Amino acid sequence: MSKFVKTQYGTPKQILKFPDHYVALAVTVDNTGIVAGADGKKIVPAGTIVGGGFLADDTKKATVINDATSEGVLLNDVDVTHGPAPGAVVIHGFISTSKLPTAPAATAITALKQITFVK
C-alpha cells in the first residue's frame, strides 16, 4: 500500500544572512526523538543545528545536536513524519541568529568554524 502525502509549497524560511555565499551538503535527516506537532507532522525546522558524524561518513544521518559535536545548520524545514528524509545542511556561510529556532550553544559556535552567526 502506498502513502499519499499532500504537500503545500510556499516561500521557505530564509536562515542565510547572505544567500549568495554558502556551502551546503545533502544529508539524510534522522527522525529519532522528533516529536509530532499538533498537526501530527514531525518537522525539523530550518536553522536547527545538527551533527551525527555525517561529515566523516556520508552514510550517517544528521541528528539534532547543539554542542561541541555540531557539524552544520539545517537549510530548510525537513518533514520526518514518515521516517528519515533528505535535507541540506549548511557547513559554510553566514547564518542569521534571529531566524534560528534555538540559539546555538557556545560549544556549537566553536565547533562550527566555517559558519558565522550574524544578528
d(CA 28, CA 33) in angstroms, rounded, equals 15
Per-residue pLDDT reduced to its tens digit, 36-55? 999 999 999 999 999 999 99
Rounded distance between C-alpha atoms, residue 98 and residue 100, angstroms? 6
Residue spans of the domains in the chain: they are 23-118
Structural fold of domain 23-118: Virus Head Decoration Protein; Chain: A, (2.40.300)
Tell me what pLDDT residue 6 has. 64
- Three-state secondary structure readout of the chain: CCCCCCCCCCCCCCCECCCCCEEEEEEEECCCCCCCCCCCCCEECCCCEEECCCCCCCCCCEEECCCCCEEEEECCCEECCCCCEEEEEEEEEEEEHHHCCCCCCHHHHHHCCCEEEEC
pTM of the model: 0.88
The answer to whether residue 1 scores a pLDDT higher than 60 is no
How many CA atoms lie within 13 Å of 38's alpha carbon, on the beta-carbon side? Answer: 0
